[in-house]
Structure 1
Amino acid sequence: MNNWSYSVVYTLMEPKELLTYRFTYFTGVLLLYLLIMFLNSSLCTVIVMVKTLHKPMYIFVFNLCANGIFGAIGFYPKFMHDLYFDSYVISSYMCALQSFVIYSALMCEYTTLTVIAYDRYIAICRPLDYHSILTKYTCGKLILFSWMLPTITMIIALILSNQQPVCGSHIEKLYCDNWSIVKLSCQSNVPNNIFGFIAILLHLCLVIFVIVSYVKLIGACRASLESRKKFWQTCVPHMLSLINSMVASLFDTMYSRYGANDVPESLRIFFSLEMIVVPPLFNPFIYGLKLTEIRQRLLQCFVKAKPSK
Structure 2
Amino acid sequence: MTTRAPARRVRVRVPATSANLGPGFDSFGLALALYDEVEVELTGAGLSVDVVGEDVVAQDETHLVVRAIRATFDALGRTQPGLALRCVNRIPHGRGLGSSAAAIVAGITAAAALAEVGLAEVGLAAAAGPAVDTSAAARTGWMLRLANELEGHPDNVAAALAGGFTVAWQDPAGASSLRVAPFEELRPVVFVPTLRQSTEASRGALPQRVPLTDAARTVGRATLLALTLAATEPAAVARRAELLLRATEDFLHQPYRLPSAPATGALVGRLRELGIPATLSGSGPSVLALAVGGGQAATAVGVAGAEFSVVPLTVDLGGARVDRLDSH
TM-score under structure 1 length normalisation? 0.28
Larger radius of gyration: 1
- Whose strand proportion is higher, 1 or 2? 2
TM-score under structure 2 length normalisation? 0.27
- Whose helix proportion is higher, 1 or 2? 1
